Structures are given as structure tokens and as C-alpha cells.
Amino acid sequence: MNRREALNMVALLMSGTVVGGTAFLEGCKSADKKSAAALPLTKEQIAFLDEVAETILPTTSTPGAKAAKVGEFMNTMVVDCYEEKDQKVFLEGLSKIDEGAQAAFKKDFMQITPEQRKELLSKTDTEAVAYAKNKKPEDPAHYFSLMKQLTLLGYFSSEVGATQALRYVPIPGKYEGCIDYKKGDKAWAL
């Protein structure tokens, strides 16, 4: 799967555009746009992102986002591909999720149960969708939209996601333009 295909897949999953998409397609060459912010992320922040990603894509019959090391992927993408304004929004989002956990459950995000995490992130996702509907073009993206986009992109472009969550043929055979879909079949990896 090349970057353009992965980006298109995530955009379709998110029903919109991917923040930093131009940088993804250009090979993340925006070195002049790097921030002096607190990047790269710490191991604790990466573990935090792994838990956020695992809540979005949990382990079921296939490994979840944590198994695909999506937190490390997010760190790389935010540092190398996001503009400074989006890096700032992303970093602020880490604090906002923790603040939301404190307000709702009187504990840090890392200390709440998986059910509480799901409840908190579902509420945050609803807020992100409402924000996206009303945002002006010059407004920054919602931090949770950034995290969700990177979770999906990181997971489905990882070995774990492509080979275990999707159907994958490492060496494709002949071209078959029309293959019947059977209910319950996995989608194909690109």
C-alpha cells in the first residue's frame, strides 16, 4: 500500500479529509515547519496514545491498535508531517483527554477502566463531529479527529492491521475485476 492509497482509505473511513494530508503525500518533507514544542513525545505520552488508540480499535478476534504500535506511529507522523499549529492542537489534546477523565471519573485517563475510556472517548468523538460541522476553514482540526485519523491510518497500514484485520495477499495472482462479496468477509488490504 502506498501513502496515497492509505490516505484515501483513512479519508473514506473518516468521511472527510486527513489533516496533514499534503505532507503525507509529499513524503513528510516539511522540515521547515517543525515545531520547537514538546516533541517528540515521551514514552509515557506514547503509552497514553496506545491506550487511546486501543480504545478506538480494541483487540477482538484480531489484535488491536496497541499491538500495531499505533502510539509510536502517531508520534512519528505528528513530528515529521504535521504543521506547528496541528502539532500544538494534538499535544493539547493529550491534556484535554486527561482533564476529561478527571472531570468525569476523578482519575487520570490511564487509571480509568476500559469501559470508562470508551464512554469518555465516545463523548469526545461526538464533540469532534459537532465541531467539524461548524468549523470555519481557518479553524484548526479537533484534537480527537487528529488522533482518530492517525489511529486508523497507523493500524490499517501496519503489518498487524493489513494481514490480520484485512484480507491480504502478499503476492497477488491474476487480476479479477469482480469478486463476489460474502457477508462477514474482511475488506481487502491494498
Q: Which residue in the block uniquely carries the three cell numbers 477482538?
A: 60
Residue 38: partners with Cβ closer than 8 Å, 6 or more residues away: 91
Mean pLDDT for 27-46 is 67
Predicted TM-score of the model (pTM):
0.75
Taking the C-alpha atoms of residue 80 and residue 149, their distance in angstroms, rounded to an integer, is: 16
Name the nearest CA neighbour of 105 among 93, 118, 92. 118
The larger pLDDT score, comparing residue 65 to residue 19, is at 65
Mean pLDDT of the chain: 85
Query: What is residue 174's predicted lDDT score, i.e. its pLDDT?
Result: 74
